């Protein structure tokens, strides 16, 4: 004791440095952040309006406009105020009372099976399947055909049980409360949806397929707001008999027993007529439908065709289509699969018990529009387009641009093998409708906080970033998103935004502390699973900035050409870029985009012109001033007013007598240094372009000819191996990008389809077996990637 007192400094050190628990990374981040005002206190864009060109009358109803803001509602937050009772007991059973007080529109099956079996469409299909003799076919059906028909007709016995529906929705409220921190609903959109029910037309809700709980969220939302719960088209193969029975009593339309996949079922000659008659009977009874669509071949377009066929057959006067956009903060991996099984259900239950993935969900219901107006008014753009091979191959091989100014053919969205009885005009209208709904549903999705953080970490700060700099970039990116009339699925302060996003993405991030100040540094993990999940979160940002991303890649391609012509090694950022060349490069890249990126009503050339304008608007390019003889104040020539010349010979008069508009030239706004915004925008599409390059380089490893399923599997393996050799860029090896690359190669003619056998076989085009043509195609893809 004396020794300690004699050394007061040592005693002071002991008493002033007690052991303290280490601070968590979340507390460290919060201490380094500065509290700011809420983002959404000033502006919230109006989203969800229908197309002004195809459905002007539906837009004129102004279902979403002229209404006071009603705010948002957390669907899973149910308390005693939602019931007609009060008291301590009510507070404990309020959710049960709320569910049992909801209005349910029952949908009994009745004699629906008999009506479907007696329809003319099914009778004609039976004649074709049984015998060429119609009398013999109607008197005595073949036993094997009768048994197969009974299996398909069992699907028509689907109905909605009010008691079971209430019980399941009560369970869903409990499950979603464990799975998500909130499920936000825009009450203004719900009010507009309620007004659309007064039009006395059945409603068809359409969303882009993301997970197996998309339809459950839509049905739960409608149930909680006393709206008619729709029949759900969920073409999955459920093996458990008890699970099939429960789902069919909830109005879920499944695949017939014995069908391996939706594609196999659609190849059945009896399945399509039965389902078409079944959908018509549902709509005639006033039922609503919920359909999920995707850009995969032959998926979901046929269900929209069957809805349209009900109008053509006179079963219903009209149908209202409601695009639905669902945005997830972080979707649990157990609910991404579309196949239902006991093991997946158990894995899902374990994830709930762990308490992971407590993200939020935002559901947007767009304005309902008339299907009859879109398809029969003639205002919807319906054209077959030209194959991608005709559009781009002359530009790739011969460097000719005369064929790129047409539309791309996307008839594979509804191939001829699916619903062969459909007239060609109806098929084209269905394809146009599918394109509209894919675009409407994706643009209706809100941008979540995890998407902002993932995009910045992958495409701007891949090697890591300090939290303070990440916050500044989030503010900038958020303003750009709102400026492009896209809603966001969050609100509050910057502290809460960053902490919430990093908490959800914590398994996929690396966190460290900077030595001098201890400020947290965040970087994405380099393992494949982390990069694939972060890249999936970035898809919505790419769609928001698609004009700028295409324009940045076009600028990169032109700068690369300047380097190639000059023989230098570094890019020359002080180069002059012509408007026509920029438009052509943008148009070429536009044809490579998957459906849903550009508005269906806008042709590709007009979109490319908007791309060039967007590059000027965002500050990447500046228009170069060209010295002309006409003064700046010459209003007539500046606005392109025609001035005519007088010629003595009338045969010499031509259109060249008119003044042609000046062709603009552009330069980079920061030629002295590399513009960071240009690199960021180029990186958004580099994921898809890199996948195209890797897939093309891997084709010679495949044992062609090969089935499409095996080709997809082996090509996916090659891309994962290629990413492993590269040591990074695993986000370019996802299965979705492999499907996109395979579809692109088929459209370009690199691979040839053979549909004459039982399965679809793919073989190589002899033209691209030559090294010169293959090298040109690789260079065509690589020119848009900034290195």
Please state, in angstroms and rounded to a whole number, the distance separating the CA atoms of residues 425 and 382: 9
Please state, in angstroms and rounded to a whole number, the distance separating the CA atoms of residues 518 and 73: 39
Please state, in angstroms and rounded to a whole number, the distance separating the CA atoms of residues 304 and 291: 8
Would you state the pLDDT for residue 433?
A: 93
Please state, in angstroms and rounded to a whole number, the distance separating the CA atoms of residues 678 and 680: 5
Please state, in angstroms and rounded to a whole number, the distance separating the CA atoms of residues 562 and 573: 10
Contacts with 755 (C-beta within 8 Å, 6 or more apart), sequence order: 417
**Strand ranges (DSSP E) for 587-735?**
621-623, 665-668, 706-707
Query: What is the 3 state secondary structure string of 154-217?
Result: HHHHCCECHHHHHHHHHHHHHHHHHHEEEEEEEHHHHHHHHHHHHHCCCEEEEEECCCCCHHHH
Which two three-digit tokens encode residue 11? 């005693």
Strand partners, 27: none
Neighbours of 424 (CB within 10 A): 9
Q: Which of these, 104, 146, 144, lies nearest to 122 by C-alpha position?
A: 146
Please state, in angstroms and rounded to a whole number, the distance separating the CA atoms of residues 274 and 151: 11
Q: Are 518 and 28 in contact (CB under 8 A)?
A: yes
CATH code matching the domain that covers 683-784, chosen among 1.10.10, 1.10.3910, 1.10.12, 3.10.20: 1.10.10
Strand partners, 185: 73, 363
Would you state the pLDDT for residue 559?
A: 87
Looking at 444-466, list the stretches that DSSP marks H as alpha helix, in order from N- to C-terminal side.
449-459
Domain boundaries 56-131+141-385+424-437, CATH class: alpha beta
Strand partners, 408: 386
Would you state the pLDDT for residue 35?
A: 41
Q: Which long-range contacts (CB under 8 A, 24 or more apart) does 660-665 make?
A: 662/626, 662/628, 663/578, 663/579, 663/580, 664/579, 664/623, 664/624, 664/626, 665/576, 665/577, 665/578, 665/579, 665/623, 665/624, 665/626
Please state, in angstroms and rounded to a whole number, the distance separating the CA atoms of residues 282 and 718: 46
Contacts with 173 (C-beta within 8 Å, 6 or more apart), sequence order: 75, 76, 78, 95, 99, 220
Would you state the pLDDT for residue 631?
A: 53
Q: Which of these, 171, 529, 507, lies nearest to 354 by C-alpha position?
A: 507
Q: Does domain 447-525 have CATH number 3.30.420?
A: yes
For CA atoms 84, 194, 289, 328, the dihedral sign is negative
For CA atoms 421, 427, 431, 433, the dihedral sign is negative
Would you state the pLDDT for residue 632?
A: 46
Low-confidence residues in the chain, pLDDT < 70: 1-43, 66-67, 130-144, 297-299, 332-357, 402-403, 564-573, 626-662, 671-674, 756-757, 787
Q: Are 691 and 733 in contact (CB under 8 A)?
A: yes
Question: What φ, ψ does residue 488 adopt, rounded to 5°?
Answer: -115, 155
Contacts with 612 (C-beta within 8 Å, 6 or more apart), sequence order: 551, 579, 582, 583, 586, 621, 666
Domain ranges of the chain: 56-131+141-385+424-437, 447-525, 539-624+664-673, 683-784
Q: Are 173 and 77 in contact (CB under 8 A)?
A: no
Please state, in angstroms and rounded to a whole number, the distance separating the CA atoms of residues 448 and 181: 14
For CA atoms 608, 612, 618, 620, the dihedral sign is positive
Question: In angstroms, what CA-CA distances link 160 with 90, 247, 617?
Answer: 28, 9, 52
Q: Are 128 and 269 in contact (CB under 8 A)?
A: yes
User: Among all chains, which residue has been given the structure tokens 């508009």?
Assistant: 661
Please state, in angstroms and rounded to a whole number, the distance separating the CA atoms of residues 668 and 672: 9
Strand partners, 183: 361
Query: What is the 3 state secondary structure string of 639-660?
Result: CCCCCCCCCCCHHHCCHHHCCC
């Amino acid at each position: 004791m004396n020794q300690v007192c004699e050394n007061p400094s040592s005693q002071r050190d002991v008493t002033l440095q007690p052991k303290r628990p280490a601070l968590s990374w979340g507390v460290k981040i919060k201490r380094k952040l500065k509290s700011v005002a809420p983002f959404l206190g000033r502006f919230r864009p109006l989203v969800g309006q229908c197309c002004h060109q195809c459905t002007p009358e539906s837009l004129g109803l102004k279902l979403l406009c002229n209404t006071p803001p009603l705010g948002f509602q957390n669907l899973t937050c149910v308390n005693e105020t939602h019931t007609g009772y009060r008291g301590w007991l009510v507070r404990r059973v309020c959710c049960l009372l709320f569910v049992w007080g909801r209005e349910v529109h029952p949908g009994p099956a009745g004699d629906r099976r008999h009506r479907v079996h007696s329809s003319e469409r099914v009778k004609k299909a039976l004649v074709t399947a049984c015998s060429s003799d119609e009398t013999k076919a109607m008197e005595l059906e073949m036993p094997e055909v009768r048994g197969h028909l009974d299996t398909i007709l069992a699907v028509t016995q689907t109905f909605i049980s009010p008691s079971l529906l209430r019980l399941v929705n009560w369970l869903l409220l409990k499950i979603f409360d464990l799975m998500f921190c909130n499920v936000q609903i825009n009450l203004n959109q719900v009010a507009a949806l309620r007004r659309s029910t007064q039009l006395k037309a059945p409603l068809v809700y359409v969303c882009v397929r993301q997970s197996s709980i998309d339809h459950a969220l839509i049905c739960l939302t409608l149930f909680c707001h006393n709206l008619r719960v729709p029949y759900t088209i969920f073409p999955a193969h459920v093996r458990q008999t008890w699970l099939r029975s429960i789902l069919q009593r909830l109005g879920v339309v499944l695949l017939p027993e014995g069908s391996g996949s939706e594609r196999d079922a659609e190849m059945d000659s009896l399945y399509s007529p039965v389902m078409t008659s079944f959908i018509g009977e549902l709509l005639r009874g006033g039922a609503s439908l919920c359909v999920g669509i995707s850009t995969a071949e032959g998926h979901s377009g046929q269900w929209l065709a069957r809805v349209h066929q009900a109008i053509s057959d006179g079963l219903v006067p009209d149908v209202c289509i409601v695009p639905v956009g669902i945005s997830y903060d972080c979707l649990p991996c157990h609910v991404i699969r579309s196949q239902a099984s006991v093991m997946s259900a158990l894995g899902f239950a374990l994830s709930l018990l762990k308490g992971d993935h407590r993200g939020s969900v935002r559901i947007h219901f767009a304005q309902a529009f008339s299907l009859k107006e879109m398809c029969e008014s003639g205002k919807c753009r319906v054209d077959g387009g030209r194959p991608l091979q005709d559009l781009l191959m002359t530009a790739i091989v011969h460097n000719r641009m005369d064929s790129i100014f047409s539309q791309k053919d996307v008839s594979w969205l509804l191939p001829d093998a699916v619903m062969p009885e459909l007239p060609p005009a109806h098929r084209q209208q269905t394809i146009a409708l599918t394109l509209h709904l894919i675009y409407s549903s994706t643009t209706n999705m809100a941008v979540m906080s995890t998407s902002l953080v993932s995009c910045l970490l992958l495409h701007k700060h891949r090697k890591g970033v300090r939290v303070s700099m990440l916050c500044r970039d989030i503010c900038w990116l958020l303003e750009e998103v709102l400026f492009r009339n896209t809603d966001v699925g969050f609100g509050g302060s910057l502290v809460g935004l960053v902490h919430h996003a990093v908490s959800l993405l914590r398994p996929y991030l690396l966190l460290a502390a900077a030595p001098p100040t201890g400020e947290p540094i965040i970087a994405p993990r380099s393992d494949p699973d982390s990069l694939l999940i972060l890249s999936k979160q970035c898809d919505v940002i790419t769609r928001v900035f698609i004009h700028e991303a295409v324009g940045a890649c076009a600028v990169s391609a032109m700068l690369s050409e300047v380097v190639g012509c000059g023989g230098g090694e570094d890019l020359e950022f002080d180069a002059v870029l012509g408007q026509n060349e920029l438009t052509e490069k943008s148009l070429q890249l536009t044809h490579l985009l998957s459906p849903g990126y550009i508005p269906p009503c806008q042709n590709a050339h007009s979109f490319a012109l908007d791309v060039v304008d967007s590059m000027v608007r965002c500050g990447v390019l500046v228009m170069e001033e060209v010295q002309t003889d006409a003064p700046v104040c010459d209003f007539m020539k500046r606005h392109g007013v025609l001035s005519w010349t007088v010629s003595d010979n009338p045969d010499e008069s031509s259109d060249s007598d008119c003044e042609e508009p000046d062709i603009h030239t552009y330069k980079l706004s920061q030629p002295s240094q590399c513009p960071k915004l240009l690199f960021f925008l180029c990186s958004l599409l580099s994921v898809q372009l890199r996948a195209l390059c890797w897939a093309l380089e891997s084709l010679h490893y495949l044992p062609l000819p090969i089935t499409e399923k095996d080709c997809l599997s082996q090509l996916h393996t090659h891309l994962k191996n290629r990413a492993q050799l590269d040591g990074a860029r695993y986000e370019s090896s996802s299965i979705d990008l492999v499907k996109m690359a395979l579809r692109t190669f088929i459209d370009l003619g690199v691979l040839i389809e053979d549909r004459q056998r039982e399965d679809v076989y793919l073989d190589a085009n002899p033209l691209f077996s030559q090294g010169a043509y293959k090298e040109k195609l690789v260079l065509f893809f690589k020119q848009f990637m900034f290195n």
